[in-house]
């Protein structure tokens, strides 16, 4: 597996799928017996998406996860990967923004030609909160805003300038 193939194997379920709350797509990157550990919570890969969506929805009005540096060691049909992640979450009050930095530590296996996550362990290395009231200042008026469903424009095919419905600030 080349670096780009490794990145493709890890990308789904890690960023836009979480931003749009696509639980099925999040679950699809895990092997049938895959496991996800986020702090004290351990879920099957199949259950991870629904769990993550419920947890995020309880306390956040919006969130975005960014995968940054990624390394992957491949040994035949097994790979170990480390991906740095920065999560930003807007509190339900609309005034607080939480930043968290951590890593995804993954073991993947190639089964039937497809790479899937067998185990994901999540670290949190740092976190802080900031004032998010600027987003309500009008500076973003007219900009597109993501949605937590398949109505998000990232699902539109083909994407055109007049693709609707488009949610805006």
Q: In angstroms, how far is CA 105 from the centroid of its own chain?
A: 14
pLDDT at 13: 47
pLDDT at 1: 42
Would the pLDDT of 9 be above 80? Answer: no
Q: Which of 12-26, 100-114, 122-136 has the lowest mean pLDDT?
A: 12-26
Q: How far apart are alpha carbons 84 and 92 in whole angstroms?
A: 26
3-state secondary structure of 68: strand
pLDDT at 140: 85
The neighbouring-strand residues paired with 100 are: 87, 127
**CB neighbours (10 Å) of residue 130?**
11
Residue ranges of domains in the chain, CATH in brackets = 3-133 (3.10.450.50)
pLDDT 10s digits, 81-118: 999 999 999 999 999 999 999 999 999 999 999 999 99
pLDDT at 150: 87
pLDDT 10s digits, 132-161: 988 888 888 899 888 888 888 888 888 888
Please indicate whether residue 20 or residue 85 has the higher confidence score (pLDDT).
85
pLDDT at 15: 52
Considering only CA atoms, which of 124, 158, 154, 119 is closest in space to residue 36?
Answer: 119
**CB neighbours (10 Å) of residue 85?**
22
Q: How confident is the model at residue 12 (pLDDT cuts 50, 70, 90)?
A: very low
């Amino acid at each position: 597996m080349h670096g780009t193939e490794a990145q493709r194997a890890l990308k789904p379920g890690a960023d836009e799928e979480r931003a749009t709350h696509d639980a099925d797509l999040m679950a699809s990157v895990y092997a049938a017996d895959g496991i996800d550990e986020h702090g004290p919570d351990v879920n099957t890969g199949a259950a991870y998406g629904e769990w993550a969506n419920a947890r995020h929805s309880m306390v956040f009005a919006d969130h975005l996860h960014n995968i940054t540096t990624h390394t992957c060691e491949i040994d035949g049909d097994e790979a170990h990967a480390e991906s740095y992640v920065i999560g930003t979450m807007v509190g339900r009050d609309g005034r607080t923004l939480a930043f968290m930095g951590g890593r995804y530590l993954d073991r993947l296996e190639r089964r039937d030609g497809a790479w899937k996550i067998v185990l994901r362990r999540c670290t949190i290395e740092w976190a802080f909160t900031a004032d998010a009231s600027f987003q309500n200042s009008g500076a973003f008026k007219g900009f597109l805003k993501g949605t937590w469903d398949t109505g998000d424009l990232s699902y539109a095919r083909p994407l055109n300038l007049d693709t609707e419905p488009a949610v805006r600030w």
